Amino acid sequence: MLLNDEQYNTVWDRVENELQFFPNCSNRNSATPFPPFVINKNHVIYGIENTNDDEMQGMENLITDAFIKCTKQGERIFALDWQHSAFLYDPRNKDEQRSVFVSDDKYMGGGYHAYFPGFYPDGDYYFFIAEDFRFGYLTHPWRQEAWVFGNDLIIEFEKFYESIGWIKLK
């Protein structure tokens, strides 16, 4: 389900307030790296820059399985693409994990595509956060990092992160 404007603003307010999201272009190797988040929950930071194409293909299934293991039937996850689309979806339902065309006469062609974000940050921040914010998977495109919070999700990621070329930074 694509979020409407009110839902979109509400979830991004929570991201900014609860996770203290601070978008920036610095990388972790720069002279003055600024952390993109201040997470006051147990969290792990992974370096993902060494992930190869084969590992990226397997990453989607592994992360989706981790989300399924951390949710009960009917629980949903926010899928957020910073300054773009925002979805609320069931990780068990593949039909909800896709881009959609939004009809809107204000746009040439009568609308636009709202793209469902991927798990690897290809130039933008992508976030996947439980609807109740108890766990999340946050990516930073310039730092080439994935931040994972919530004990259950961390346990699941610890089982596979090395198999997809990630390194634990914290």
Distant-in-sequence contacts of 17-24, Cβ < 8 A, 24+ apart: 18/133, 19/136, 19/138, 21/125, 21/138, 23/82, 23/125, 24/142
Question: 95-123 pLDDT, tens per residue?
Answer: 888 888 878 777 777 777 788 999 999 88
Helix axes of 151-158 and 53-69: crossing angle, nearest 10 degrees = 140
Question: 16-57 pLDDT, tens per residue?
Answer: 999 988 777 666 666 556 678 889 889 999 999 999 988 988
Report the C-alpha gap between 113 and 120 in whole angstroms: 19
Q: What is the pLDDT of residue 152?
A: 97
